[in-house]
Structure 1
Amino acid sequence: MPIDVSNTPDMYEIDATGSFTFNTKVGVRNDPNMDATPIIYYEPGESVNYSQKLKNGNHLWLSYVAASGETHYVPYVNTDTGEYFGTDSNASVQPIVPPTSTGTGTGTETGELGSLTGQAGADVADQTPDGTTLTESGQFTFSEPAAGRASTDMDAEHLDSWSIGETVYYNAKIKADGHYWFQYVNTNGSTYYVPYATISPFRYYGTDSNPGDPVIPQKDTGTTTTGTPRSHTGVDTAMPAMDSNPEREYIGEGDQYIYPTVGSLTLLSNAWGRAKPVMDPNNKANQIRLYEKNTLINYTGKLFNDNHLWVVLRNGQYLPVSTYANAEGNNMQDDDDPKNSSSYGYVTGDTGKVQPIEEYWPYTLVMKHGMTDVASWETADETITNIDATQEVIPSNEEIQAMNQFAAEIDATATDDSVSIAYITDTHVDSYKSLASARVLRSMQLMSYFANHYGVDLIVHGGDLNDGVKPKDLSEADIKRAMDTFKLSHRPFIVLQGNHDDNSGYARDETHYNGNQVITNNEAKPLRLDQFSQWLNVPTGSANPNNAIFGSYDVPNSDVTVLVLDGFDMPDYTDPTREQFRHGHTDYSDAQQNWLTETLAGIPSNRKIVVFDHIGLAGIGADSSYESHWENDIDVDTRYENTHAKSYQDGIKHSRAMYDKLTNYQSSHHNILGFFAGHTHRDNYKLSGSIQFVTSLCGIADRGDGRESRPLGSLTENGWGVIQLNPSKNQVIRHRFGPIGEDNQIAPYTDPNYFLKQWTIPDN
């Protein structure tokens, strides 16, 4: 069947990455023109990794940069016949402008590329891919200075310039990097690019002789209030700047990475303090001071080197405290004080009870999270490899097929007012801990790929983004990697705060209450909150003294409001006690409680609400007490919101207050469709106070529900899905990505007894 490209101009080009496997012999050319002579051929079964797609003549083309640095073009489909020349890993993205609408014409329906100008075009520009090119000529006179560049990148070097009143003669217009650009030929014969407008906030830099911008008009999707069906696939937000580095700092044996851990221990034998962390008994100059048996030692760091575990003393000396053979064991805790200290090697009473040897792969083959048979889930390769979180993942054929099926499942249950929210929680990213804690980055990239290419309205991460059991610098690097995976989605995203995210697990348990290793509220803000505050409406100043992650988000063009709560809304402490770490309990500040009251009061009754929090609330399933009860009541007493520890009771009261505010509101409005949490690493649910509460399994494959059946490299390693909201029906449907189980609905690693697939909230 022919492909309709009647509205697509020749040389219309889009940025698109993927892999194409040919099923027939196809020629590669230096120009996207079938009349050009092929320079080489792809044979059946061979593949090409491409970086762009374009339409020219009666073919669609792939382009890529060869090893020589030249750009090559290869056709992949004949638009006259509709014949594809193989299989595309990114088949959902095509360089085709949709046909002109036959509607009455409001300026917002699908139409011709370049038919929009000014603010009307800017309003829908986020739905036009970067790289979209409008091939037309004209001249533009600048009303402000401008600079030409070798690429459509605002950070590119300035190679040419215009003053006020000067004119550029252009041959094409391009949308890229938040701007519209002219393509022109410089006097030196080179092709350059100059921006002529900023898209948001919109402004032209002068006057165009041939008005019309490189924007694809979009069909007006309407809202439920107009009765016009809306798209549940969202709009492209463009990709923010990336911050992460795929190269991990080496922290293993021999490189003398010092774990910043403050603690003390008592020597069981004499030991020499040394200038360097090497034993070398023949080098007397290396032996600085002899520390005698029973000496109390205070240290500021640990490392593993020369087959020994060392502590770094305050005077800069290195003191050996164990051999590797002794430190390798997992039974190092002090029998007299198993909670707060360890005895091993040459020492006793070490307050920093976790040793560096336990913190980097491949030395820790025995996992700490319930996985006794490591071989049951990990691949044969025991090496953690770097994952570049700034690059879009290239899915396998199996993953493409699964995503096609997943998208079809979502479409089949969608209503005219559906809203789709991609959801993952408790990924515990750690680029060093285990194969699963590193590879979960790829799972997050795959979810972003689905969001970008198949479409969702919003991405929500439910908290515990990173594992938080590493030195602060390493955890901060992992936070950047994780945040960058969501930027690849080209969709609005929100990341909640969990108890692991501030690194307090490392600070509290592995470096003896060292507040310097906590990622403070002010440090966390640019790393996390500032990355998505353009979408989440977050209170500031005295209304949010801890820079906590709570706020609201109205899904565009819908009747849905998302409320985000922060169950770890706490101040920082310079010298914290055990009870002052997020890693141990939940809390909600007075400011957040007041915000929830005011926000609920201001939401129109015709809007539907969904609530996200990392942790459940005190009182779920209870009649009068604070203790919660879920369908699966395993470990209820140990949950942070239920603990009976006296020092945590204020936080539990505040948690119950949040529960009461929500359920009291629901009793009169009946418009809260659901409350979604993580934290427990297991699927669970409970209808309480007329609100449907659910928790979800973790995103990391080696912990929580289903870990025995989530091998790395398989579809089941993924722990994400899509929450589908059908507001007019008061309905929620949860779609989980992965191979379809026996019930043809739920992935096989999901326990149907505790995974609530769908529900409806009664109107009264």
Structure 2
Amino acid sequence: MSDQPFNQHNHGGHTPYPDDHTFILAQSLMIRTAPEWTALATPPQTLPAGTLVHYVDHVTTGHYRYVKTTEGTYLPTADLTTNTVFGADSDPTVSQVPNQTPVVGHRYAMNGLFRVTRKTLAEHSAPDFNAPVSRTFKRGATLPYVAKYRTAHHGWLEISHAEGGNGYVPFIRYVAGIAEYWGREKTGSKGVTRLIEPWTYTHPETITTTEDPRQSLVPTTDEKTGFDQLAAKIAQVAASDTVVIGLINDTHLDSYNTAQSANTLHDLKALSYFAKNYGLDALVANGDLNDGVQTLDRTILDIDRAVTALKTSDTPFFITQGNHDDNSGFARYENGYRVDQVLSNVAASNLRNRHASASQIRPQTSEPAFYGKYRVPHSPVSLILLDTFDIPDSSSEGYFKRDYVEAPTGLHWTGILQNIRHSRSRIQQAQADWFSQTMADLEPNEQVIIFTHDSIRSAVTDNAVGRFWTYDWFANNQQGAYVQVYQTIIRHHAQIISVMNGHTHVDDWADDDGINWITTTCDAPDRRKSAHGAHATPSDSAWDVLVINPTQRHLTRLRYGWQDATGSVSRLRVSLFGDGTDNRVPNLHENLNKLRPATVTRNTILYNQTSKQTRQKWRGFRAHFDY
């Protein structure tokens, strides 16, 4: 601990997170009547991924660990022979060290349909050509699969049998690194010759760290020096009523991809260590906690690791919703728009909001809410967390529903993207009304700092491609009650410290409409827009400490790690987003509307130009703000 204490949890902090004896399934699991692998319930009962189960005890039998549920049944939680865990366990004594499983031999649980184009394909009893053949499929056969494997030179589909057991059908061969497919995926509204296979984003050979998220950080000498220096800077500007908030943006945690993506877990632990040992009042992870390009089981485990690391802070912490957090990007880009791999809102809430400090601030709604308000104890300062990806779960027959009601004016829109969180920003009316009422109910001396992942400001200005905010197609794709939220902010600007966001992966700021609009760069160094980020080392973190002096009405932003200077980058954008899957025949009303185009904003006009040299600009890091 620093010998220059600046706050020492005067207002908050020191919030322990005891084991709540819960287990969240990372994959579908069958209920057992006893702690034995073969002791299946009759009839068989399967719980889906994301389910939260309360348990009373752990039991280890043979090669497996189980939990005994409060109902007296059992669920397997880990395979001890392979060090594979089947879900997120709240017990701090259970090892959760990331298992960077090699590409070869890993089972990727995912559902789909595969249509055979080869003359015949044989089904084997194991993903091995030497295994016995049980049946043969002819060209044109459609195979429903429940998982994929990769062996050294082949990819395999796991086929589930109605009478029990599984079979394995080869569907791809690798020769000198070139893939030869023996069929077509049948997905959504179109058939594709192939999808990006789930093992594409698995590169364990590049990952050298195996952080245990349950173990508090043991700082290196350099880290300890850096922490003490940061504490000294805070002490220089802190007063008796100071509130100090830790902030980290866009960690894009992915334990299976690159060293940079895996090492953001270390940064979460570092921020947590600083919060606990130097006295922060609260922590905010402002969206894109995980990267969202892995299968559902890995996504659930990564979110659990991140939340577990934040729990070591013993400090109230809150997580806003980003466009990567539910891994709908995986469904969009890799999985043919199927929803079985997308983290549901219920599962996301179970993972991110089950700890007391988050669950207590959420409004009571019929569906999980990812927004709320936290009043820092004994202080006039409150934190408001908003969800700029406020999109309900919506699917039909295993695929995303099409919804044309909210298509942005003037945009070429394929419809299928509307129900994929990764592709749009949205604020539902219920959240906007909650925010308006919350701001109206503020005490006269109360001051609020607002956190969102995507920018609120870009919804109502033509300057989203100008001096503030990088060129971002989300700015032209904001739906719902954005304008109401923005107007509420302006109406109460005298009580707003700042509006903090991330998403654009640069440091930026503006002071329009009497509001401090501040964005924080991406913590993952290989995801930043600047040239520096492309060549950064895994330890090159970037997180903030926000020092709020409510009497002086001053905000100081201090950075641990790297920060952006003013910069820009030019790129040739050659086509619109979208994938051309809208194969409907336009009706008469739609055809007439094409003859009477609605008035569009400058941003929409710029965006609809299919080829354009765009210049992304940012103003860099700024430390001091009056409000």
1:600 matched to 2:600: no
1:617 matched to 2:456: yes
Partner of 1:190: none
Partner of 1:424: 248
Deviation at 1:319, TM superposition (A): 2.2
> Which of 552, 556, 572 in structure 2 is aligned with 1:729?
552
Partner of 1:208: none
Partner of 2:602: none
Deviation at 1:556, TM superposition (A): 1.6
1:305 matched to 2:305: no
The 8 Å contact of residues 610 and 675 in structure 1, kept in 2 or not, is answered as yes
> For the pair shown, which has the larger CA radius of gyration, 1 or 2?
1
Partner of 2:293: 469
Q: Distance in 1 between matches of 2:550 and 2:255?
A: 40
Q: Distance in 1 between matches of 2:556 and 2:4?
A: 27
Partner of 2:384: 563
Supply the RMSD in Å over aligned alpha carbons: 3.7
Closer, same or farther: CA 742–552 of 1 in aligned 2, 3 Å: closer
Q: Distance in 1 between matches of 2:348 and 2:222?
A: 37
Partner of 1:16: none
**Map 1:545-564 → 2, pairs under 5 A:** 545-564=366-385
Deviation at 1:441, TM superposition (A): 0.7
Closer, same or farther: CA 443–340 of 1 in aligned 2, 3 Å: farther
Q: Distance in 2 between matches of 1:128 and 1:754?
A: 34
Q: More relative contact order in 1 or in 2 (CA 8 Å, sep 6+)?
A: 2
Deviation at 1:249, TM superposition (A): 4.8
Tell me, what secondary structure is at the counterpart of 1:707?
A: helix
Q: Distance in 2 between matches of 1:586 and 1:349?
A: 30
Deviation at 1:435, TM superposition (A): 1.2
Q: Distance in 1 between matches of 2:177 and 2:215?
A: 38
Supply the AA of the counterpart residue of 1:311.
Answer: L
Partner of 1:694: 518
1:415 matched to 2:265: no
Deviations along 1:386-410, whole A, 9 cap, x unmatched? 3111111111111111111111111
Q: Give the TM-score taking structure 1 as reference length.
A: 0.57
Partner of 1:755: 621
* Gapped regions of structure 1 (runs ≥ 5): 1-89, 95-109, 111-122, 131-151, 156-239, 343-347, 364-381, 644-650, 744-750
The 8 Å contact of residues 619 and 656 in structure 1, kept in 2 or not, is answered as no
Deviations along 1:266-296, whole A, 9 cap, x unmatched? 525543332221123xx6x33631433x655
Deviation at 1:500, TM superposition (A): 1.8
Deviation at 1:414, TM superposition (A): 2.0
1:657 matched to 2:479: no
Supply the AA of the counterpart residue of 2:464.
Answer: S
Deviation at 1:663, TM superposition (A): 1.3
Q: Distance in 2 between matches of 1:91 and 1:601?
A: 40
Closer, same or farther: CA 721–256 of 1 in aligned 2, 3 Å: closer
Deviation at 1:566, TM superposition (A): 1.0
Q: Distance in 2 between matches of 1:512 and 1:403?
A: 45
Deviation at 1:258, TM superposition (A): 3.2
* Gapped regions of structure 2 (runs ≥ 5): 22-89, 402-415, 567-616
Deviations along 1:364-390, whole A, 9 cap, x unmatched? xxxxxxxxxxxxxxxxxx344431111
Closer, same or farther: CA 286–535 of 1 in aligned 2, 3 Å: closer
Closer, same or farther: CA 755–621 of 1 in aligned 2, 3 Å: farther
Q: Distance in 2 between matches of 1:730 and 1:487?
A: 30
The 8 Å contact of residues 492 and 535 in structure 1, kept in 2 or not, is answered as no
Supply the AA of the counterpart residue of 1:598.
Answer: Q
Deviation at 1:524, TM superposition (A): 2.2
Supply the AA of the counterpart residue of 2:384.
Answer: L
The 8 Å contact of residues 612 and 675 in structure 1, kept in 2 or not, is answered as yes
Partner of 2:426: 587
The 8 Å contact of residues 198 and 294 in structure 2, kept in 1 or not, is answered as no
Q: Distance in 2 between matches of 1:428 and 1:699?
A: 8
**Map 1:678-689 → 2, pairs under 5 A:** 678-689=502-513
Deviation at 1:612, TM superposition (A): 0.4
1:493 matched to 2:317: yes
Supply the AA of the counterpart residue of 1:549.
Answer: F
Q: Distance in 2 between matches of 1:556 and 1:534?
A: 15
Q: Distance in 2 between matches of 1:259 and 1:476?
A: 13
Partner of 2:193: 349
Deviations along 1:297-351, whole A, 9 cap, x unmatched? 543322101421122345543222222346667x99x9xx999989xxxxx623x
The 8 Å contact of residues 207 and 258 in structure 2, kept in 1 or not, is answered as no
Q: Distance in 1 between matches of 2:14 and 2:519?
A: 36
Closer, same or farther: CA 412–709 of 1 in aligned 2, 3 Å: farther
Supply the AA of the counterpart residue of 2:619.
Answer: N
The 8 Å contact of residues 102 and 204 in structure 2, kept in 1 or not, is answered as no
The 8 Å contact of residues 731 and 758 in structure 1, kept in 2 or not, is answered as yes
Closer, same or farther: CA 273–694 of 1 in aligned 2, 3 Å: same
Tell me, what secondary structure is at the counterpart of 2:389?
A: coil
Partner of 2:81: none
> Which of 687, 704, 707 in structure 1 is aligned with 2:533?
707
Closer, same or farther: CA 403–323 of 1 in aligned 2, 3 Å: same
Q: Give the TM-score taking structure 2 as reference length.
A: 0.68
The 8 Å contact of residues 187 and 338 in structure 2, kept in 1 or not, is answered as no
Tell me, what secondary structure is at the counterpart of 2:516?
A: strand
Supply the AA of the counterpart residue of 2:151.
Answer: N
Supply the AA of the counterpart residue of 1:660.
Answer: Q
The 8 Å contact of residues 459 and 491 in structure 1, kept in 2 or not, is answered as yes
1:286 matched to 2:133: yes
Closer, same or farther: CA 730–394 of 1 in aligned 2, 3 Å: same
Tell me, what secondary structure is at the counterpart of 1:389?
A: coil
Supply the AA of the counterpart residue of 2:388.
Answer: G
Tell me, what secondary structure is at the counterpart of 2:222?
A: helix
The 8 Å contact of residues 719 and 737 in structure 1, kept in 2 or not, is answered as yes
The 8 Å contact of residues 14 and 314 in structure 2, kept in 1 or not, is answered as no
Closer, same or farther: CA 91–609 of 1 in aligned 2, 3 Å: closer
Q: Distance in 2 between matches of 1:154 and 1:572?
A: 27
Supply the AA of the counterpart residue of 2:290.
Answer: N
Q: Distance in 1 between matches of 2:501 and 2:202?
A: 30
**Map 1:253-652 → 2, pairs under 5 A:** 253-268=103-118, 270-280=120-130, 285-286=132-133, 288-292=135-139, 296-313=142-159, 315=161, 316-325=166-175, 349-350=193-194, 353-362=195-204, 382-533=206-357, 537-540=361-364, 544-575=365-396, 576-577=400-401, 578=416, 579-617=418-456, 619=458, 622=461, 628-629=464-465, 631-636=467-472, 638-639=473-474, 641-643=475-477, 652=479
Supply the AA of the counterpart residue of 1:531.
Answer: H
Deviations along 1:405-444, whole A, 9 cap, x unmatched? 1111111122333211100011111211211221111111
Closer, same or farther: CA 241–735 of 1 in aligned 2, 3 Å: farther
Closer, same or farther: CA 338–412 of 1 in aligned 2, 3 Å: farther
Deviations along 1:485-522, whole A, 9 cap, x unmatched? 11111211111111222232223332223222222222
Supply the AA of the counterpart residue of 1:349.
Answer: T
Tell me, what secondary structure is at the counterpart of 1:450?
A: helix
The 8 Å contact of residues 555 and 562 in structure 1, kept in 2 or not, is answered as yes
Supply the AA of the counterpart residue of 1:357.
Answer: W
Supply the AA of the counterpart residue of 1:434.
Answer: T
Q: Distance in 1 between matches of 2:534 and 2:333?
A: 27
Q: Distance in 2 between matches of 1:413 and 1:399?
A: 22
Q: Distance in 1 between matches of 2:546 and 2:552?
A: 15
